[in-house]
Amino acid sequence: MILFLMTCILKFNLDTIIIFVQNLDLLKSFYVDILQLEAVEEFKSEWVLLKAGNCCIGLHKIDEQYLKDKKGTDKYETNTKIVFEIEDDITHVREYLVGKNVKLNEVKAFENYDFFTCDGEDPEGNIFQLKQRRKY
């Protein structure tokens, strides 16, 4: 692992931009019916992934508790998340970036999702995500 940290050349491929939305059906209708993007993945009332050229746009329903005008500690200051797909081991990349004082959450895995993910913040608080394809 020390060798990885010393010789790390990171390669980030823009994969997805996620927009946190309040009305998923309205936004899906806009992007599919008006802009004619193709819906390539959908979890009813929660998530739609749209193909937009070499990148995707994810529409992610945001829960009431996370809306900016609500009281609480976990609020989104932005409604977007940029997702970078990486090939290197996500745990090692996370450790490398944390060593550079980048704010990153722990690596997560979700059932029925083929990627490990790790959310972080840039210096102005914009959310981004690293994702690495699982090897089964």
Q: Where are the domains of the chain?
A: 13-85, 87-136
1-29: average pLDDT: 81
Where is 98: in which H helix or E strand? helix 90-99
According to the model, what pLDDT value does residue 74 have? 47
Q: Which of 88, 84, 87 minimizes the C-alpha distance to 118? A: 84
Q: CATH topology of 13-85 equal to that of 87-136?
A: yes
Share of the chain above pLDDT 90, in %: 60
CA distance to 9, 33, 47, per residue, from 25 (Å): 41, 11, 10
Is the pLDDT confidence value at 1 over 90? Answer: no
Residue type, 36: Q
- pLDDT by residue (tens digit) across 38-55? 999 999 889 999 999 899
What does the pLDDT look like over 63-98, one tens digit per residue? 776 665 544 444 456 788 999 999 999 999 999 999
**SS3 call for 75:** coil
CA dihedral 110, 111, 114, 115 (to 10 degrees): 10
Q: What local confidence, expressed as pLDDT, does residue 5 receive?
A: 52
Q: Which CATH architecture is the domain 13-85 placed in?
A: Roll (3.10)
Could you give the percent of the chain with pLDDT greater than 70? 85
Just give the CATH number of 87-136. Answer: 3.10.180.10
